[in-house]
Amino acid sequence: MQKRSYGKHFVIVAVIVLVTAIITVVGLSRVRWMAAPASAQARSVDSLLGIELVAIGFLFALVMVFMLYSLVAFRQRKGEEEDGDHFEGNTKLEITWTVIPLITVLVLAVLGARGLTEATAARADEMTVEVTAFSWGFKFAYPEQGIEASPIMYLPVDQHILLDMNSVDTDVIHDFWVPEFRVKQDLVPGVPTKLRITPNKIGKYTVLCDELCGTGHTNMQAPIEVVSASDFDAWVAAQQPSTDPAEMASLGAELAASQGCAACHNITGDPGGIGPTWKGLFGHEVELSDGSTVTADDAYIAESIANPTAKIVAGYQPIMPASYGQVLTEQQISYLVAYIKSLQ
């Protein structure tokens, strides 16, 4: 059998691969994978993703074009009965497809390791924020500013932040992720973890839990506000405990939203919720599962938040997480009570 020449096919395929790769990479780079970056650590993550998109686009074109072209150009034509050419190995090709991916993977490994080192490097002037995860929410403390607990994370822009992270849960893993900051870190029961971020864009963001952790997982979010240094100082000054009922109620409403209360307790008066409605609750008689009744006063509501199984309301399951007693400060529970009191 005479040896066929495939040179013409290779030229055609090379051109189609190139065009397909360019179209694929341009198409992929137009997809908004994530919200615009807002931290110094995002730079290396985004540049690595850019390189990987090029590699993905090229590999996709290489595989698909060779396969589809071969199906069409080398199909069995009418009257063609003979066998195709038999190949017994191709050393040059095998060396090529081993060496090029090896170099590519090594380059990506070096870039990835460099990005990770950069993103996790300790800085001299870091500000510490303590993050506590629970089922299902996050709370924040500022040891350097004397703020014990905040449902919202306020951060001064361009400040290096060290997040000291812990979980009060014993059975599930949570994960701290702000898409705009790119970096993420698990919160593991019994194992303190750290994450470093340098927010570099003023704005409002949301921490998401990025580890499937139970029924409240989708509600496990907390607001983050990146503000100017002077706004941050003003916020710190405003964190003094409040005694004004209206202000306490509004702080309680913020807490109810950030702590996931609304997932089970509605404020519309609808009795069909997973937990009792909060509307019109305060001051009224509540029938308990053991047949007794209790008046919904400050003490009863505070107890039901901190120790939810102490008194079960008739007709409801004892499924409220028991962690709020550790998660919320007494001050915060008094804000929640003030909020429930205001829902008449």
CB nearer to ligand CUA: give 198 or 323: 323
Interaction between residue 178 and ligand CUA (CB under 6 A): no
The single residue among 178, 213, 256, 296 that binds ligand CUA, judged by CB under 6 A, is: 213
Interaction between residue 180 and ligand CUA (CB under 6 A): no
The single residue among 211, 227, 337, 343 that binds ligand CUA, judged by CB under 6 A, is: 211
CB nearer to ligand CUA: give 174 or 196: 174
Interaction between residue 209 and ligand CUA (CB under 6 A): yes
Amino acid at residue number 150:
S
Using the Cα atoms of residue 70, residue 73, residue 79 and residue 80 in order, give the sign of their dihedral: negative
Query: Phi/psi of residue 127, each to 5°?
Result: -105, 135
From residue 123, give the alpha-carbon distance in Å to each of 85, 146, 344: 63, 22, 50
CB nearer to ligand CUA: give 21 or 188: 188
Which of these segments, 79-87, 213-221, 222-230, 293-301, binds ligand CUA (CB under 6 A)? 213-221
Give the integer Cα–Cα distance in Å for 321 and 213.
13
Helix, strand, coil % over all residues of the chain, rounded to 5: 40, 20, 40
Give the integer Cα–Cα distance in Å for 283 and 286.
9
CB nearer to ligand CUA: give 117 or 215: 215
Interstrand relation of 193-197 and 153-156 (parallel, antiparallel or unpaired): unpaired
Interaction between residue 174 and ligand CUA (CB under 6 A): yes
The nearest distance, CB 194 to ligand CUA, in angstroms, is 18
Question: Three-state SS for 215?
Answer: coil
Q: Which residues bind ligand CUA (CB under 6 A)?
A: 136, 174, 209, 211-213, 217, 220
